[in-house]
């Protein structure tokens, strides 16, 4: 079957990241040193070749760029300094934009101004909503649930979660279409999706592939960050009336410790990511796109303002509590609205999905080959 070649692919990718891969002379060293590459998925060299030749559809139909965890070994040993690790990162940004049907992913990744303006506009809208709709401001004591009734905030959380899930899931449907429907001729039976579904949950929680990189610290940091994020999400979506309360609980109360854990994990994880990028500690930190900064910055501000709300409430400072609460939400809402379906956060969903799709695709191909062998031996 003939393949369509897009000579403009490299230039298109350069809008998404710094990819000097014209320098690559295809020695294969990067794939040889990659701890995650296999005979079936010989990245990063295969992807670099695809970019050089312009095989856009091959990249779109492949999960390979998501199987790389950016340890940087390939870039560190590339004799031509073609930055194969950064090329995989760039492909992941490009793929995020390809999966996103709204076009916002492309806009945010290719225009730093639009990404920053969108965050600022969303933050201002949150502040304006509070100015117009906030409840009575009790100043004699802290009454956060009078200023921002918890039932109303909880309802808005669910409305936002529903909208974001809609955008994310429709993008996931497109990812499935590209990788499974277009990426293989084999029919994938429904039962395979069901029996392999555990892969999705397991890889989302553990990011096990990341642990196979030689250096374990980035995986541990990432794990801590994700655990804080997921804990905070559970608190906000399912336990908000228990979490946002005007009651002052004693120090040993689980409400305090769950909140402390989530906040400390977020501050540590986001802080480590930002410090690494600032100091360019590892190979993976040498190139930083705006989205690599913006997501952890919003997370960090969200976590710090969250702990300040808690502190001011315990110190009995009503106006400071209400003000910092509004600032807290004005950071958390854009972090979710901009980054979950269209930006950096999406990789948390796409990586385990890519592993899952890859697995069901491989099993479906094996099953089909077995059936064909049986049919031909019976003929
Ligand atoms: S990216 Fe570097 S290591 Fe990989 S094939 Fe090209 S020249 Fe060789
Ligand atoms: S960055 Fe690491 S995991 Fe990714 S392709 Fe290079 S060597 Fe492999």
HSE-CB for 104 with a 13 A CA cutoff: 18
C-alpha 343/C-alpha 297 separation (Å) is 14
For 293-318, the pLDDT digits (tens) are 999 999 999 999 999 999 999 999 99
- Ligand 1 centroid from CA 10, angstroms: 16
For 87-121, the pLDDT digits (tens) are 999 999 999 999 999 999 999 999 999 999 999 99
Pocket test for ligand 2, best of 32, 213, 222, 285 (most atoms within 8 A of CB): 213
- Ligand 2 centroid from CA 66, angstroms: 10
Q: Is 72 in the pocket of ligand 2 (CB under 6 A)?
A: yes
Output DSSP code: residue 123: H
Q: In 3D, which of 144, 126, 173 has the Cα closest to residue 327? A: 126
Domain boundaries, the chain: 9-99, 104-362
Residue 3, pLDDT > 80, answer no
CA distances in angstroms from 358 to 70, 103, 352, listed in the order given: 19, 26, 10
Q: Taking the CB of residue 27, how many other CB atoms lie within 10 A of it?
A: 13
C-alpha 154/C-alpha 266 separation (Å) is 21
HSE-CB for 337 with a 13 A CA cutoff: 21
Q: Which atom of ligand 2 is nearest to the CA of 33?
A: 7
Contact 281, 218 (CB under 8 A): no
- Ligand 2 centroid from CA 315, angstroms: 49
Percentage of the chain surpassing pLDDT 70? 99
The residue nearest atom 2 of ligand 1, judged by CA position, is: 78
Q: Which residues contact 216 (CB under 8 A, 6 or more apart)?
A: none
Q: Is the peptide bond before 82 cis (omega within 30 degrees of 0)?
A: no
The residue nearest atom 1 of ligand 2, judged by CA position, is: 70
CATH number for region 9-99: 1.10.1060.10
- Ligand 1 centroid from CA 82, angstroms: 6
The residue nearest atom 3 of ligand 2, judged by CA position, is: 68
What sign does the CA torsion over 136, 140, 143, 148 have? positive
The residue nearest atom 8 of ligand 2, judged by CA position, is: 34
- Ligand 2 centroid from CA 122, angstroms: 35
The residue nearest atom 4 of ligand 1, judged by CA position, is: 30
- Ligand 2 centroid from CA 59, angstroms: 16
Residue 343, pLDDT > 90, answer no
Q: What pTM, to 2 d.p., does this model score?
A: 0.92
CA-based end-to-end distance of the chain: 27
For 136-184, the pLDDT digits (tens) are 999 999 999 999 999 999 999 999 999 999 999 999 999 999 999 998 8
At 63 the pLDDT is 94
Find the ligand nearest to 46 CA: 1
Ligand 1, pocket residues at CB < 6 Å: 24-30, 45, 48, 78-80, 82, 84
Q: Which atom of ligand 1 is nearest to the CA of 31?
A: 4
Residue 271, judged by CB atoms within 10 A of its CB (0-12, 13-18, 19+), counts as: middle
- Ligand 1 centroid from CA 221, angstroms: 29
At 378, is the pLDDT very low, low, confident or very high (cuts 50, 70, 90)?
low
Q: Is 67 in the pocket of ligand 2 (CB under 6 A)?
A: no
Q: Which atom of ligand 1 is nearest to the CA of 23?
A: 7
């Amino acid at each position: 079957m003939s393949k369509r070649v897009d000579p403009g692919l490299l230039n298109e990718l350069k809008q998404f990241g710094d990819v000097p891969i014209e320098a690559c002379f295809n020695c294969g060293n990067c794939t040889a040193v990659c701890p995650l590459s296999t005979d079936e998925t010989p990245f990063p060299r295969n992807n670099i070749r695809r970019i050089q030749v312009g095989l856009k559809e091959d990249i779109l139909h492949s999960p390979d760029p998501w199987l790389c965890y950016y340890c940087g070994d390939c870039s560190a040993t590339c004799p031509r300094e073609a930055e194969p690790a950064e090329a995989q990162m760039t492909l992941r940004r490009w793929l995020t934009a390809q999966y996103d049907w709204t076009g916002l992913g492309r806009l945010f990744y290719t225009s730093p101004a639009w990404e920053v303006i969108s965050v600022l506009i969303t933050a201002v809208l949150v502040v304006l909503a509070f100015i117009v709709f906030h409840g009575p401001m009790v100043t004699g004591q802290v009454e956060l649930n009078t200023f921002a009734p918890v039932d109303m905030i909880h309802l808005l959380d669910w409305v936002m979660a529903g909208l974001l899930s809609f955008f994310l899931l429709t993008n996931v449907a497109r990812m499935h279409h590209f990788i499974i429907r277009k990426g293989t001729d084999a029919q994938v039976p429904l039962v395979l999706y069901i029996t392999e579904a555990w892969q999705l949950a397991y890889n989302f929680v553990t990011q096990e592939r990341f642990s196979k990189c030689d250096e374990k610290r980035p995986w541990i940091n990432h794990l801590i960050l994700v655990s804080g994020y997921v804990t905070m999400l559970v608190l906000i979506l399912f336990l908000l009336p228990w979490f946002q309360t005007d009651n002052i609980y004693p120090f040993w109360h689980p409400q305090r410790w769950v909140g402390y854990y989530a906040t400390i994990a977020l501050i540590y994880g986001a802080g480590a990511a930002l410090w690494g990028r600032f100091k360019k500690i590892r190979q993976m930190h040498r190139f930083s796109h705006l989205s690599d900064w913006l997501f952890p910055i919003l997370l960090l501000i969200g976590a710090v303002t969250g702990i300040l709300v808690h502190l001011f409430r315990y110190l009995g400072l009503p106006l400071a509590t209400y003000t910092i609460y509004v600032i807290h939400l004005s950071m958390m809402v854009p972090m979710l609205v901009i980054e979950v379906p269209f930006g950096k956060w999406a990789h948390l969903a796409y990586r385990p999905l890519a592993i899952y799709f890859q697995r069901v695709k491989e099993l479906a191909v094996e099953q089909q080959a077995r059936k064909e062998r049986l049919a031909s031996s019976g003929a």
